A = this chain, B = another copy of it.
Amino acid sequence: MMISGERFIVTYLVSGSEQEALAKAKDICIEQTVEFPPYLIPAGFIQDEILGRIESFEAHNQDYKVRISYAVETTANELTQLLNVIFGNISIKPGIRVEHLEFPPALLRNYKGPRFGKEGIRTLLGITERPVLFTALKPMGLSAEQLADLAYKFALGGIDVIKDDHGLTDQCFAPFAERVHLCAAAVDKANKETGSRSIYVANITAPYGQVSKRARVAKEFGAGGLMVAPALVGFDCMRELAENDDIALPLFSHPAFIGSYVTYSQNGLSHQALFGQVMRLAGADVVIYPNFGGRFSFSQTECEAIARAAAAPMAGIKEILPAPGGGMSIQRVPELHAVYGNDVMFLIGGGLFQHGPDIVENCRYFRSMLNSMDQYRKEG
């Protein structure tokens, strides 16, 4: 059997003493590929090519950093199987964390990544430089008409991207088609009045057979983007949406149900590997994640690492936009701008209701926080 010899590398942080960590590293090589008693692994092709290979092993703070390479062919050019090789069985073994991924062009050329990416989103919105203003339609329980009214006000107040809250799917009190129809029309109406190019993003996190259907319905009704939670629909569902030429809308990934992969530093994937590298490979144009200092647990360092991974070179895979949110307030915009720079979407949901009783005015205040910063006056 001849294979290419091309390999990708996963950096794992492994806990324990040096001896324990080395044993774990050798175990990972087996567990993620042949899953077979070591002394019975067939010599030749399987031992030489299929088995994971330790490329480096070194102490790192209290842990050990191990780089393990795998043959590209073990992944069958499938995102599902790539994730399985990276972290399938060892997800069940404590003390192993995926820290970083190194993909060679031989692997990346099988993935298209995001269709729009950072630049595509900017072009679509007509925003050349400044951060993008982003909010969510909520609370669950409002009718489609009420949500559309909110969407109209958000757009009128200058919010660039208005998405469904991730809990809005197809509930009887705001059915999908009706909600998407009314919300897209409401944003369009506001755009005609203001001359802006705001978009409405429909949540299409849905049962397996419904995702593509809802994507098509949303596009038909004029949605400007689509949101899915990959932990609920599968990462590869997002990839397929990104590659679908009939849909061709920007994709927003939502972190619902994904937290367990990052919550404990001794297990799962690092913030940058999961929200930066995996989401990007899986076709997200915008990655939504909980910002530091909000009501979730990510640290500033972790959030900055996500933003860096969203923009790091990735052989032909487009840069994407980080969208930190979750318990954010308008007042934090200057602070967050200092951290993230321009290539960011500020997602303020509930906080946009808290500034004052008039939603449109609150949005204008949010917008003014950007305009007050010198470098954006020209786009104000």
Contact = CB atoms under 8 A, between A and B. Distances in A.
A37 interface: yes
Q: Number of contact residues on A: which range applies?
A: 35 or more
A350 to B, nearest CB: 5
A299 interface: no
Interface stretch (A56-64, A232-240, A305-313, A333-341): A232-240
Interface string A15-59: 000000000000100011111110011100110011000000000
With most chain B CB atoms within 10 A of its CB, the pick from A41, A79, A89, A262 is A89
Interface in A186-217: 205-210
Given A76-B172, A236-B207, A229 B84 contact: yes
A123 interface: no
Nearest to A36: B139
A169 B76 CA distance: 7
B140 A50 contact: yes
Given A81-B169, A84-B167, A263 B35 contact: no
Contact of A268 (B236, B255, B260): B260
Contact of A139 (B41, B167, B326, B349): B41
A213 B156 CA distance: 46
A80 B207 contact: yes
A226 to B, nearest CB: 14
Count of identical protomers in the assembly: 2
A295 to B, nearest CB: 8
Given A88-B229, A263-B92, A237 B240 contact: no
A258 B267 CA distance: 11
Interface of A: 1, 3, 27, 31-37, 40-42, 45-46, 49-50, 73-74, 76, 78-81, 83-85, 87-94, 138-143, 165-167, 169-173, 205-210, 229, 231-237, 239-240, 255-264, 266-268, 290, 295-298, 326, 349-351, 353-354
Given A34-B138, A91-B257, A260-B267, 13 more contacts: A1-B141, A33-B141, A34-B139, A40-B353, A41-B139, A46-B142, A50-B139, A80-B229, A80-B232, A80-B233, A81-B206, A84-B167, A92-B262
